[in-house]
Amino acid sequence: MYTMMLIVDLNGVKAEHDDANQSLNLDVPPVLLSVLVKLRHGPFVRKVLDPYREHLTKFWSPQNIDQIEVDHCALLKVYNTDNVLRVAINNHGIITMFNDAWGCASGRYEHLCSFCGGLATMFANTTSVESNFSILKSEMDTNRMALMHLSLEGIFQAK
69-104 pLDDT, tens digit per residue, is 999 999 999 999 999 989 999 998 878 888 888 888
SS3 17: strand
CA distance 7 to 141: 9
In the chain, % of residues over pLDDT 90: 22
* Highest-confidence segment of 27-41, 58-72, 137-151: 58-72
> What residues contact residue 148 under an 8 Å CB cut-off, 6+ apart?
3
CA distance 56 to 61: 8
**Taking every pair of C-alpha atoms in the chain, what is the biggest distance, in angstroms?**
57
Confidence check: pLDDT of 38 > 60: yes
* Polymer length of the chain: 159
The phi and psi torsions of 105 (rounded to 5 degrees) equal -85, -5
Confidence check: pLDDT of 158 > 50: yes
Confidence check: pLDDT of 115 > 50: yes
| pLDDT at residue 62 in the model | 92
List the chain domain ranges. 29-123, 127-159
Report in angstroms the alpha-carbon separations of 69 from 55, 66, 120, 145: 16, 5, 18, 41
The model carries a pTM of 0.61
Q: Of the candidates 100, 115, 81, 121, which has an alpha carbon nearest to the alpha carbon of residue 34?
A: 100
With b meaning 16 or more CB within 10 Å and e meaning fewer, what string describes 77-110?
Answer: ebbeeeeebeebbeebeeebeeeebbebbeeebe
